[in-house]
Copies of this chain bind each other. A is one copy, B any other.
């Protein structure tokens, strides 16, 4: 299985002295700088619907891990894939590796190791990347006066999940299909993360909803903020499908980046936008008063619920 499906994913990537198939991979990171590492598990029925297209699962599993590397400003290099499957299924593996490889190739990421085991379907990926010496975005650097920004649009994936679950056997089309694609094939903001290394004061990727992820960033930074609710960026598909404010604020699985940065002059801001491959939108301002607030267009300000998503929330 390893030879047939996974050695094709090892690709050509710098610094792989020993790849898939031995006890451990031996890697040679760039001489200068730091190694960024993250590890995420996706469990069937928890992190993705059980009827997700398998090729999309291959893409998505890698995407959520590359998103973590992007959130610290890293350049992804290598990944390890640990796959737990109920049974050997050649067609399933073919589709999974196809989705995985499409995204891996675009980012020049090589599979260097992992594991296959039998059990309830879940996918664990460890992603390794590189950041320049002394570099790397943290959650803890936001300062009062910084703007709060996001890449792309919010809430699409959560609304896409609703439409997917409501589809009743019919294929999705139009706006609903767009939203489901945002759920199933998120685009990790790898270019943006690296472009923000010099500029952003803090960053986080939005996995559990912008409200809770911003709240985490603020807490780590020891600050608060007010979000301008009308400024939250929404896609045409989101608007057409009737997405609401709750979904914008609390819908998970966006895998956009949220970052803070000191105010930039118009020219510097234009320069930053040109280095990004995705639009960015300012959605609020960091303040010294702790807590997360929302302001509407009429100037009303209220505290935002940031319970967010907790896999173990129903337990004490």
Contacts and interface: CB of A to CB of B under 8 A. Distances in A.
Interface of A: 1, 17-18, 21-29, 31, 34-47, 67-69, 71-72, 74, 78, 80-82, 84-85, 87-89, 112-120, 122, 124, 126-129, 131, 136, 138-140, 203-205, 220, 311-312, 315-316
Contact of A131 (B26, B67, B131): B26
Contacts of A25: 36-38
Nearest to A316: B88
B22 A138 contact: yes
Contact of A120 (B38, B115, B120, B311): B120
A41 B117 contact: yes
Main secondary structure of the interface of A (DSSP, over half): strand
A285 B44 CA distance: 47
Contacts of A126: 37, 39, 80, 126
Given A31-B31, A36-B25, A46-B118, A41 B84 contact: yes
A64 to B, nearest CB: 10
A130 to B, nearest CB: 10
Contact of A39 (B35, B113, B119): B113
A117 B43 CA distance: 8
Contact of A38 (B29, B68, B113): B113
A220 B119 CA distance: 28
A39 B125 CA distance: 9
A28 B34 contact: yes
A136 B22 CA distance: 11
B119 A24 contact: no
Given A87-B315, A116-B312, A312-B87, A24 B72 contact: yes
Nearest to A131: B26
A119 B46 contact: yes
25 contacts: A18-B138, A21-B139, A22-B138, A22-B140, A23-B68, A23-B69, A23-B71, A23-B204, A24-B38, A24-B127, A26-B35, A26-B36, A27-B36, A29-B29, A37-B78, A39-B114, A40-B82, A41-B115, A42-B117, A46-B118, A80-B126, A87-B312, A117-B122, A120-B122, A122-B122
A23 B128 contact: no
A80 B37 CA distance: 9
Contacts of A40: 82, 115
B312 A118 contact: yes
A112 B42 CA distance: 19
Of A23, A35, A124, A312, the most chain B CB neighbours within 10 A belong to: A23
